[in-house]
Amino acid sequence: MTLALDTTPRVRRTRVLPGFRLTLGITLAWLSAIVLIPMIALVSRAAGVGFDGLIATATDPRVLASFRITFGASLIAAAINLVFGSLLAWALVRWRFPGRRLLDGFVDLPFALPTAVAGIALTTLWAKHGLLGSIAEAQGWRVAFAPPGIAIALVFIGLPFVVRTVQPVLEELEPELEEAAALLGASRLQTIGRVVLPELIPALLTGFTLAFARAVGEYGSVIFIAGNRPGQTEIVPLLIVTKLEQYDYAGAAALAVLMLAVSFVMLLAINLLQTWATRRHAR
Amino acid sequence: MARPDGDRIVTIEALGLEKRFGAFAALRGVDLKVEPGELLALLGPSGSGKTTLLRTIAGLERADCGQVLYEGIDADTISLRDRRVGFVFQHYALFRHMTIADNIAFGLKVRPRRGRPPRAEIKARVEKLLELVQLQGLGGRFPAQLSGGQRQRVALARALAIEPRVLLLDEPFGALDARVRKELRRWLRRLHEEIHVTTIFVTHDQDEAFELADRVVVMNDGKIEQIGSPAEIYDQPATEFVYEFLGGANRLPCRVEAGVALIAGTRLATDLPRDFSGEAIAFVRPHEIGVTRPNGHLDDLAHVRSILPIGPDARLDLEHQSGHIEALVPREALDAAGIGVGSRCAVRIARARVFRASS
């Protein structure tokens, strides 16, 4: 009987491929050093204002207005990028035309350009007497030093995120899928709506999320074009910098924590949406 | 699934099709008539143009030259939707984000409102098709949850859902393992007997073509080499290429004098013109070769390199002055003649097909 006991298979928890503990350890240490510890420092700093202080900050009309403008403009910019970024990715993947490589390279420019440079360039372009600004002005539209200007700056810096996430997925998409749909009698619109877009949804959501997250945190390009009028074109990052310049560290930290909380909730929501979309997909 | 109405079974014709992809000529003047209700195989090596021909018939490629006719009507004037082509791709091309049932129903759901069957009818049809392809109860699954063979049957059901006038299959079993391939082959043959829709399939596997098809079209280098029933193609390969492609035959250089060939010491009449003399190539299948005791002649003498018993027969590796010869002879005959490995024997050619040497 003892023999029989000895041969009972034991549940073995070791993994076939080594390195799990090591890689997890490095991952956690790195994440802590780079992301978690600074976040904790931020929160502890913000704790200085106390809970009431936090509420007071959150309900300040100037703060509320800056949150509206930051998150509103970021959402609009991400949505615009979603549409035009996908079209751009589509054109780059599907068609072969002279200068395609060059155009493909331009897409990454917003990654590399110092955002302040982008902000100054955009402001010059869209100011009252600028190249595009004069045209807009003639139509009665104010772009620079107004909310549309903020959105334009955010579109600029967010574009590569959508293009670069959608592009590889489009490249992987077999042309046979579209051919099959067409032979089954689907019109071009039906093919795109029912076959192509559903395949792209996870990538579109990722691109949207990245563009949005980037836009929320953007500072450099926006402050040049926004005009920075309190309550109208003042973004949250600028308000934080203003508080820092007034040596109100706790207030700045409180604002930052609020911003962090809102961003986190929104990103979490998009992530959940994405999980749901992916689950409907092939596993 | 009901038997298709008479008007659905169509004659398809290809007239002088030519198609180039850059410098590569995929089709170089292809004429083909597909009879209503037949099961036709396009057989050839890769790059022979068979898939291009299939895609041109489907309307996925447009020929540079020539016409495709559906029941005598120029196919260019018929939209993809109205052609009602059921197409099955080698890698299935199923819609991954849709369930099996939604995949099958796709062709019905995208119809304009006027021609679209009511929801309940679509559902009933999907059920019937699932049954036809033996996937009852799997309608709620996603493609990724099925095996390769199952996915290919879903692709077939999806193609059949639109009640196609013609069914086109591009290497339908190419991505499957050998056992599943054989099963599906037999199943497709039965299915065709049941629904009798005109079917063209592309394959590079001659067993598949011969086992399934009523007629086989052998293609090479953008042209048709031979069209015929499997038996015709096997018994009378029309060209050197067909012989080579079918494989298994000995390729022996020989000399023709006034229409009579001298092949490894055997004199044989040929189909070549009486007045033809010159170098030629003879194709001889292993079972068309006999061996006897050496008889003193030199030109039919061969050296036995190896003997491999296969049931009642034996496969002989012979070394002849004209080259290497493979023969399949009854083992009894070997024993009677006292031929063993390392011995010498005389080669007798019973039958051969002789082609003029091309260069």
CATH code of residue A167: 1.10.3720.10
Residue contact B81–A282, C-beta within 8 A = no
**Closest CA in chain A for residue B110:** A186
Residue B183 confidence (pLDDT): 85
Q: Is there a domain that residue A183 lies in?
A: yes
Q: Is there a domain that residue A166 lies in?
A: yes
Q: What is the mean pLDDT of chain B?
A: 90
Q: Is there a domain that residue A23 lies in?
A: no
In this complex, the residue of B58, B142, B143 whose CB is nearest that of residue A183 is: B58
Q: Quick one: angle between helices A50-59 and A61-94, nearest 10?
A: 70
Cα–Cα dist B110/A178, whole Å:
13
Range of the domain at A68: 32-282
Residue A12 confidence (pLDDT): 56
Cα–Cα dist B29/B15, whole Å:
8
Q: How far apart are the first and last CA of chain A?
A: 45
User: pLDDT tens digits for B277-296?
Assistant: 888 999 999 999 999 888 88
Q: What are phi and psi of B69, to 5 degrees?
A: -115, 130
How many domains is chain A partitioned into structurally? 1
Give the gap in angstroms from C-alpha B115 to the nearest C-alpha of chain A. 12
Structure ipTM: 0.82
Res A1 pLDDT > 50: no
Res A7 pLDDT > 60: no
Three-class DSSP category at B168: strand
Task: Let me know: does B307 contact B268? Beta carbons within 8 Å.
Answer: no
User: pLDDT tens digits for A191-232?
Assistant: 999 999 988 988 999 999 999 999 998 998 999 988 888 888
In this complex, the residue of A176, A182, A281 whose CB is nearest that of residue B97 is: A281
Q: Is there a domain that residue A125 lies in?
A: yes
Q: Is there a domain that residue A234 lies in?
A: yes
Cα–Cα dist B47/B26, whole Å:
7
**Closest CA in chain A for residue B57:** A183
Mean pLDDT of A90-107: 90
Q: Is there a domain that residue A18 lies in?
A: no
Cα–Cα dist B215/B39, whole Å:
7
Global confidence as pTM:
0.78
Task: Let me know: does B43 contact B219? Beta carbons within 8 Å.
Answer: yes
Give the gap in angstroms from C-alpha A280 to the nearest C-alpha of chain B. 6
Q: Which two tokens stand for residue A83?
A: 């549409």
Which has the minimum average pLDDT: A47-51, A245-249, A254-258? A47-51
Residue B49 confidence (pLDDT): 93
* B113–A contact, CB cutoff 8 A: no
The residue among B51, B95, B122, B170 with the most chain A CBs within 10 A of its CB, best to mutate, is: B95
Q: Is there a domain that residue A2 lies in?
A: no
- Beta pairing class for B85-88 and B166-170: parallel
**Closest CA in chain A for residue B163:** A184
Res A280 pLDDT > 80: no
User: pLDDT tens digits for B71-127?
Assistant: 889 998 999 988 999 999 999 999 998 999 999 999 999 999 888 999 999 999 999
Q: Which two tokens stand for residue A81?
A: 């990028």
Residue A187 confidence (pLDDT): 93
Q: Is there a domain that residue A24 lies in?
A: no
Residue contact A180–B60, C-beta within 8 A = no
Cα–Cα dist A262/B137, whole Å:
46
**Closest CA in chain A for residue B100:** A282
Q: Which helix (H) or strand (E) holds B107?
A: helix B100-109
Residue B9 confidence (pLDDT): 66
Residue contact A184–B106, C-beta within 8 A = yes
* B116–A contact, CB cutoff 8 A: no
* B106–A contact, CB cutoff 8 A: yes
Res B5 pLDDT > 70: no
